[in-house]
A = this chain, B = another copy of it.
Amino acid sequence: MIERELLDFDNWSCPLPLRDNPTVVMGHGGGGQLSADLIKYLFLPAFDNPVLAQMGDAAVVTPGGPNGPRLAISTDSFTVTPLFFPGGDIGKLAVHGTVNDVAMVGARPLFLSVGFILEEGMPLDDLVRIAASMAAACRQAGVTIITGDTKVVDKGHGDGLYVNTTGIGLLATGLDISAGRARPGDVVIVSGDIGVHGIAILSIREGLQFETVVESDTAALHGLVAEMLDVTPDIHCLRDPTRGGLAAALNEIAAASSVGIELDETAVPVPPAVHAACEMLGLDPFYIANEGKLIAILPAEHAEAVLARMRAHPLGLRAAMVGTVKEAHPGMVVARTGIGGRRIVDMLVGEQLPRIC
């Protein structure tokens, strides 16, 4: 009773967005538990169908009939602010983000559609720069923008521009990569330093200065995935840990596969600048967004060979084995800490950094 009085439950205000909020809150777009709830309780029941229910980074369909080619389709809207940041811009991000989602089922990305929502008053010069950046990213990734749309909203009802990209990729036969395929005994690999994109955005947005400029890691990962699949097609899960970071991606896999995941915290590559920024700001690098990194879960027997091939690729130089899949604590991600303890790496309810992609 004393505690109740001290905490003043009747007049408290919660620092997290309330989960029973009657309106949209920022956390609904954060890639954490609120995003998951919105999908689970609002969109999935409304749009009920088995393809959507698989909830992969990309959906797999065979529009030409069962013997036709398998296509991977993914869509993503980009609302990052600011539009330009160290290492990239919203256009580059919009190409890489969707290319990566298509690549995370093992498909080769081929085509993109682009939808622009421009805000009245946006400098056309900025749009020119962003279009050029998208074109360069497409050329480098070997994808083609085949169709597009442009809308303009009144000044004050946008943020310069929002971009939607939808990607179409071709999926080779024999591949079956999805969040539900992690098995006890599998290993968890991360392709390199985590937290870089999020800290790059945060630093420019908040005007933070670090000893070195942190540049976004935004990159197209399908080349790296192709190398990995060349070692073995028996890769169980792939995810690019964007919103919600490593923690959200691994929690989604643990839940979808009904397995436990144990991380070795000290094995996860966190660059010094990200570490320093997180210490200073009270953030956890496991929850920071990445745009050029992937997580792979695969049988232990292939781990060394896949890691070796990854480290020979420019985007996998610092690839590392960071954990294992367990039968214990299904649906839960646990980290062994540097001092020998264990902590639960839960999914955030909302988000640490809004508007990161």
Q: Which residues does A use to contact B, with CB under 8 Å?
A: 21-30, 35, 38-39, 42-43, 46-49, 51-52, 58-59, 61, 63-65, 68-69, 71, 73-79, 110-111, 113-125, 127-128, 131-132, 134-135, 138, 144-154, 156-159, 162, 164, 166, 168-170, 354-355
Contacts and interface: CB of A to CB of B under 8 A. Distances in A.
Chain multiplicity (copies): 2
Q: Identify which of A22, A65, A117, A355 gathers the most chain B CB atoms within 10 Å of its CB.
A: A117
B77 A24 contact: no
Interface of A, secondary structure class, is: mixed
Nearest to A355: B153
Nearest to A48: B135
A164 B28 contact: no
Nearest to A133: B46
Contacts of A48: 135
Nearest to A69: B64
A289 B141 CA distance: 38
A42 B113 contact: no
- Of A35, A43, A134, the most chain B CB neighbours within 10 A belong to A43
Of listed A59, A114, A127, A149, residue having the most chain B CB within 10 A: A149
B123 A22 contact: yes
Contacts of A78: 151
Contact of A147 (B30, B59, B110): B59
Contacts of A121: 23-24
B24 A144 contact: no
Contacts of A123: 22-24
Contacts of A150: 28-29, 35, 38-39, 43
Contact of A113 (B27, B38, B166): B166
Contacts of A76: 115, 149
A65 B24 CA distance: 43
A104 to B, nearest CB: 12
A23 B122 contact: yes
Given A52-B146, A117-B117, A123-B22, A151 B47 contact: no
8 contacts: A24-B118, A39-B150, A42-B128, A58-B147, A63-B110, A74-B113, A79-B151, A154-B354
Contacts of A147: 51-52, 58-59, 73-75
A74 B145 CA distance: 11
Nearest to A119: B24
Contacts of A113: 59, 73-75, 166
A197 to B, nearest CB: 16
Given A29-B150, A146-B51, A64 B64 contact: yes
B111 A61 contact: yes
Given A42-B128, A123-B22, A28 B73 contact: no
Contacts of A354: 152, 154
A149 B77 contact: yes
Contact of A145 (B26, B47, B69, B152): B47
Contacts of A156: 156
A260 to B, nearest CB: 28
Q: Which 5 A-B pairs have the closest CB atoms?
A: A29-B152, A64-B69, A75-B113, A166-B166, A46-B131
